[in-house]
């Protein structure tokens, strides 16, 4: 059976890196984390006790979930925690320290991998040193393996030192990629009563030793899976009898990119994939598309989403085909709270290895920790999203992505010092 409990943070990161699990399939990862957190004295909430089951987005089909659970079992996931999870990954760990009279502090880390292949040549350190991905088409190309290790490091830090008077909640969030897991985790009662929430990310193009106290203003985002269904016919003999699904998709694409930009801020549209498995001489009976929209604000994102849905519907109508859409993922945006940002700014210079502390930086992309941050703020708490430099040698989401593992201890200590300042 696999076991993280005697491993260093680097060893944990490498173990998870070698066995990546994409969104909503993080069963081995969740079970191993739960085992150590349980032993450290944390109350562990798993599966439907960690996320709002009905709010999940972009969930793989039942066969994929069953295969992921079977693989986790084969790779040594402790059965006790697999059983408690059921078919839903992710966890929340909670522990009270001292007399519990101090603040409740939440830490959010994500744990999923990307659905992409990893480089296998010797130019890539994980491959060269034997901890490259053992799972085809899955890779930790965004440092979530490091985030999970940092979450364990923070849990160990307070369990061993006990130098905090309050309640610590660590959110090990599934399915960040695609914006699928933050919303359902934010809709649980675990966010109620959280006074401060700290989310974090390694890398982001920052050198090891650099800390940004607040990455903020990510673009709000929505992802739509779309299917057009028509009627096949012989393209030469009876073209008039067909209803062309691919033609509807092409019409949609042309008009999606023509959505007017908005006077109130940045908007984005992208069609990332179109697929129609069809012979050249057959009118297309089915075409699928993956579409995403973004906006500087949640309102601008909704503007883009409504326009996109309208275009998809009318493109189908023009070509007499049916269309169905499903929301694959969604994020919102946030601005960090000044006094929490100041707490990070004060704490980070005290951490060994930190050489450069910056106050704020715009995100640029999208991030579903936004839902947890917004929920805490709506409940009266305060939050920020911390960037921890890791000298990533290649861009995020690329086959050669890797991090400087010295950043793991820095991440733990920056967060821990900030938490202590709340006491």
User: For position 138, what pLDDT does the model report?
Assistant: 98
Q: Write out the two tokens for 256.
A: 């999606």
Mean pLDDT on 389-394: 97
The distance from CA 340 to its chain's CA centroid, rounded to whole angstroms, is 23
The distance from CA 290 to its chain's CA centroid, rounded to whole angstroms, is 18
User: For position 364, what pLDDT does the model report?
Assistant: 84
With H, G, I as helix, E, B as strand and everything else as coil, classify residue 226.
strand
φ, ψ of residue 278 to 5 degrees: the values are -150, 150
Q: What are 40-54's pLDDT values in tens digits?
A: 999 999 999 999 999
Q: Write out the two tokens for 247.
A: 């033609």
Residue 269 has pLDDT above 90, yes or no: yes
Residue 101 has pLDDT above 90, yes or no: no
Q: What percent of the chain has pLDDT over 90?
A: 96
Mean pLDDT on 15-25: 98
Q: Write out the two tokens for 54.
A: 């009905």
How many Å apart are CA 326 and CA 142, to the nearest integer? Answer: 26
Domain range annotation of the chain = 9-218+333-422, 220-331
User: CATH number of 220-331: 3.50.50.60, 3.30.70.360, 3.30.559.10, 3.60.21.10?
Assistant: 3.30.70.360
How many Å apart are CA 181 and CA 222, to the nearest integer? Answer: 13
User: For position 97, what pLDDT does the model report?
Assistant: 94
Q: What are 161-209's pLDDT values in tens digits?
A: 878 999 999 999 999 999 999 999 999 999 999 999 999 999 999 999 9
User: For position 2, what pLDDT does the model report?
Assistant: 75
Q: Write out the two tokens for 72.
A: 């986790």
Fold of the domain spanning 9-218+333-422:
Aminopeptidase (3.40.630)
Averaged pLDDT of the chain: 96
User: For position 1, what pLDDT does the model report?
Assistant: 61
With H, G, I as helix, E, B as strand and everything else as coil, classify residue 344.
helix
Mean pLDDT on 88-112: 95
The single residue listed with the structure tokens 């073209």 is: 239
User: For position 99, what pLDDT does the model report?
Assistant: 86
Q: Are 168 and 158 in contact (CB under 8 A)?
A: yes
């Amino acid at each position: 059976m696999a076991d993280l409990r005697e491993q260093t943070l680097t060893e944990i990161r490498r173990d998870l890196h070698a066995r990546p699990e994409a969104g909503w399939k993080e069963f081995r990862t969740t079970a191993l984390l739960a085992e150590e957190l349980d032993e450290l004295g944390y109350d562990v909430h798993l599966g439907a006790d960690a996320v709002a089951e009905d709010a999940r987005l972009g969930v793989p089909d039942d066969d994929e979930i069953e295969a992921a659970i079977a693989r986790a079992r084969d790779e040594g996931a402790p059965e006790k925690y697999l059983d408690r999870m059921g078919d839903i990954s992710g966890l929340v760990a909670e522990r009270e320290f001292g007399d519990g009279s101090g603040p409740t502090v939440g830490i959010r880390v994500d744990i999923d991998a990307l659905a992409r292949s990893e480089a296998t040549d010797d130019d890539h350190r994980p491959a060269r040193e034997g901890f490259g991905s053992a799972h085809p088409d899955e890779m930790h190309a965004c440092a979530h393996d490091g985030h999970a290790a940092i979450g364990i490091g923070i849990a160990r830090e307070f369990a061993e030192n006990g130098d905090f008077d309050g309640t610590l909640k660590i959110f090990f969030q599934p399915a960040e990629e695609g914006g699928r897991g933050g919303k359902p985790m934010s809709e649980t009662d675990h966010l109620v009563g959280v006074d401060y929430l700290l989310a974090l990310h390694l890398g982001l193009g920052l050198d090891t030793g650099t800390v940004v106290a607040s990455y903020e203003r990510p673009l709000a985002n929505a992802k739509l899976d779309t299917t057009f269904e028509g009627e096949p016919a012989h393209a030469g003999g009876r073209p008039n009898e067909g209803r062309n699904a691919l033609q509807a998709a092409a019409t949609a694409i042309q008009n999606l990119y023509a959505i007017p930009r908005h006077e109130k801020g940045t908007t984005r549209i992208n069609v990332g994939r179109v697929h129609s498995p069809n012979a050249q001489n057959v009118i297309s009976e089915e075409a699928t598309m993956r579409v995403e929209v973004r906006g500087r604000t949640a309102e601008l994102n909704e503007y883009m989403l409504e326009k996109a849905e309208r275009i998809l519907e009318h493109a189908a109508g023009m070509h007499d085909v049916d269309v169905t859409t499903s929301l694959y993922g969604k994020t919102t945006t946030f601005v960090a709270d000044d006094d929490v940002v100041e707490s990070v700014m004060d704490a980070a210079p005290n951490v060994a290895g930190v050489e450069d502390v910056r106050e704020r930086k715009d995100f640029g992309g999208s991030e579903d920790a936004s839902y947890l941050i917004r929920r805490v703020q709506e409940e009266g708490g305060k939050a920020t999203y911390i960037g921890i430099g890791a000298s990533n040698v290649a861009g995020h989401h690329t086959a050669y992505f890797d991090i400087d593992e010295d950043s793991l201890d820095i991440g733990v200590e920056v967060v821990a010092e900030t938490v202590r300042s709340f006491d």
